[in-house]
Amino acid sequence: MATKAFQRTYTQLQAITKATVTLNARGVSNDELATVNGRLAQVVKTKGDSVTLQVFSGTEGVPTNAEVSFHGAPPTLRVSEQLSGRFFNAYGRPIDGGPEVEGEEREVGGPSVNPFKRRQPSQLIPTGIAGIDLNNTLVSGQKIPFFADPDQPYNQVMADVALRADVDKIILGGMGLSNDDYLFFRHAFESAGALDKIVSFVNTTEEPPVERLLIPDMALAAAEYFAVDKNEKVLVLLTDMTLYADALSIVSNRMDQIPSKDSMPGSLYSDLAKIYEKAVQLPDGGSITIIAVTTLNDGDITHAIPDNTGYITEGQLFLRADPDSGKVIVDPFRSLSRLKQLVQGKKTREDHSQVMNAGVRLYADAQNAKTKLENGFDLSDYDLRCLDYAKEYATRILSIDVNITIEQMLDTAWEIFAKYFSPAETGIRQALVDKYWKA
């Protein structure tokens, strides 16, 4: 950022850590930006005249006589229709070779929507993936992460979901994306011909980790511009939030804060909530939906990052490899969309929720049968039918490569039920059985 004439400049640092510098300065305001030897930094602590700055790109090579100038304002983003189709770095500067965006300069990480002014989310977001649409229906204004091990194809699934979803804008916030994944997204968006409705803010693994902390705020500031000012339906993709949280813990560690569970900062819940709660259905029709990725360590959802995330988001989509069908499936037990009942049976067919519950219950019975099999016990006739059912259910419903309408999903489910079970075994309400059972 260019140095302006009125900026105050200091040249004496008191302390340097890997992520922060401390100096004596006056008249500094909390959260304001500064430049340390040309690197962007932000005020995180003041104590008397001593000011601590978080340096986004790290402090390697910063000398004690580094030139520090304060900008007098927190991080901002220039917003206008010109954002569409562009790729930016964590500071909101173009990385696609295009010109700077002209528009109104807005603070990022701004205030929350008054809960009373929110509307109840009620618009279905179909994705074609039955493991999502049938069992874990998404709704606009929702916030939901994929929980996946690093070897799962979460970025591909997310790109599929984004491109199939009926939205006006897609905003990608990439944190610690590998260069390959960055190029994958770019290619996927370009080849879908959807580039003009996509805005991307990307921090790759080649860039310093602390810079990532700016990505969600930048992406959501752009989202708020389109949702609030333009009344558009905006879908925000955030990947990978685990790397974002890791960056938070680096900074809090350098500031000598006492860590809580899993060496994460004690404020992790509030920090994540500030991001996810930007998801909103606005009174004038605009909405922000957030789909994120939280990578797990060997499926462990009790780690502080997925755990806190799960308490904030409206459900989670759990990807895992299913050995029986040989597919990557949306796990029906650990996945959940908390808003699904707002659309199931209301925007979809009346049998939706009962079919969903029966399908999952029978799949659970199949897991019990599998346990029995593994323990070397004889299987009953019912157990055997359950196992066959589970394989077909996983292949035709749960697999992430399914792409059909919700009506087709329901019909498929009824068809599979009838193939393996009696109506009573499904426990579905009689009136629905009478209407939909495929004898």
Partner 1 sequence: MSTKGKVTGIVSNLVTVAVDGPVAENELCYINLGGTQLLAEVIKVTGDKVSVQVFESTRGLKNGDSVEFLGKMLEATLGPGLLSGIYDGLQNNLTTMTGVFLKRGEYTDPLDRTALWEFTPIAQPGDKVVAADWLGEVKEGWLPHKIMVPFAFQGEFTVKEIVPAGSYTVDQTIAVLTDKDGEDVPVTMTQKWPVKVAIKGFKEKPRPRKIMETGVRVIDTFNPIAEGGTGFIPGPFGCGKTVLQHAIAKQGDADVIVMAACGERANEVVEIFTEFPELVDPHTGRKLMERTTIICNTSNMPVAAREASVYTAMTICEYYRAMGLKCLLLADSTSRWAQALREMSNRMEELPGQDAFPVDLSAIISNFYARAGMVVLNNGQTGAVTFIGTVSPAGGNLKEPVTESTKKAARCFYALEQNRADQKRYPAVNPIDSYSKYLEYPEIQEFLQEKIDKQWVEKVLRAKNLVRRGREMADQINILGDDGVPMSYHEAFWKSELIDFAFLQQDAFDAVDALCPLERQEYILDLILGICDKQFEFDNFEQCRSFFKELINTLRQMNYSEFRSPQFNQYEQQLRNQLS
Strands 198-204 and 87-88: parallel
62 closest CA partner among 85, 84, 36, 83: 36
Kindly state whether residue 418 participates in binding partner 1, applying the rule CB under 8 A: no
Q: Specify the residue, 119 or 438, whose C-beta has the smaller distance to partner 1.
A: 119
Kindly state whether residue 112 participates in binding partner 1, applying the rule CB under 8 A: yes
**Cα dihedral sign, 240-148-130-335:** negative
Chain-centre distance of CA 105, in angstroms?
25
CB of 201 to partner 1, least distance (A): 20
Q: Specify the residue, 171 or 339, whose C-beta has the smaller distance to partner 1.
A: 339
Q: What is the distance between the alpha carbons of residues 25 and 68, in angstroms, rounded to a whole number?
A: 10
What is the size of the binding site for partner 1 (CB under 8 A)?
86
Q: Specify the residue, 192 or 373, whose C-beta has the smaller distance to partner 1.
A: 373
* 5: Cβ contacts below 8 Å, ≥ 6 apart: none
Kindly state whether residue 6 participates in binding partner 1, applying the rule CB under 8 A: no
Torsion-angle region of residue 120: left (phi > 0), alpha (psi -120 to 50) or beta? beta
Interacting positions 357-386 with partner 1 (CB under 8 A): 357, 360-361, 364, 371-372, 375-378, 380-382
Kindly state whether residue 116 participates in binding partner 1, applying the rule CB under 8 A: yes
CB of 238 to partner 1, least distance (A): 15
Instruction: Count Cβ atoms below 10 Å from residue 371 Cβ, excluding itself.
Output: 10
CB of 154 to partner 1, least distance (A): 19
Kindly state whether residue 58 participates in binding partner 1, applying the rule CB under 8 A: no
Kindly state whether residue 285 participates in binding partner 1, applying the rule CB under 8 A: no
CB of 45 to partner 1, least distance (A): 5
Q: Interacting stretch for partner 1, rule CB under 8 A, among 1-9, 88-96, 165-173, 352-360?
A: 352-360
Burial of 104 (0-12, 13-18, 19+ CB in 10 A): exposed
Q: Specify the residue, 113 or 192, whose C-beta has the smaller distance to partner 1.
A: 113
CA separation, residue 346 to residues 18, 351, 412, 430 (Å): 53, 10, 20, 20
Q: Interacting stretch for partner 1, rule CB under 8 A, among 77-85, 103-111, 125-133, 393-401?
A: 103-111
Q: Interacting stretch for partner 1, rule CB under 8 A, among 287-295, 320-328, 337-345, 396-404?
A: 337-345
Kindly state whether residue 98 participates in binding partner 1, applying the rule CB under 8 A: no
In the chain the first and final C-alpha atoms are separated, in Å, by 70
**What's the residue count for the chain?**
439
Q: Which of 153, 269, 347, 384 binds partner 1 (CB under 8 A)?
A: 269
Q: Specify the residue, 277 or 408, whose C-beta has the smaller distance to partner 1.
A: 277
Q: Specify the 3-state DSSP secondary structure of 17.
A: coil
Q: Specify the 3-state DSSP secondary structure of 190.
A: helix
Interacting positions 21-50 with partner 1 (CB under 8 A): 26-32, 44-49
Kindly state whether residue 311 participates in binding partner 1, applying the rule CB under 8 A: yes
CB of 394 to partner 1, least distance (A): 16
Phi, psi (degrees; rounded to nearest 5) at 256: 60, 35
Interacting positions 73-92 with partner 1 (CB under 8 A): 74
Q: Which of 307, 324, 350, 411 binds partner 1 (CB under 8 A)?
A: 307
Name the residue type at position 360. Answer: V
Chain-centre distance of CA 282, in angstroms?
20
Kindly state whether residue 315 participates in binding partner 1, applying the rule CB under 8 A: yes
Q: What is the distance between the alpha carbons of residues 336 and 342, in angstroms, rounded to a whole number?
A: 13
State both tokens at 435: 């209407």
Q: Which of 2, 5, 258, 439 binds partner 1 (CB under 8 A)?
A: 258
Interacting positions 186-245 with partner 1 (CB under 8 A): 228
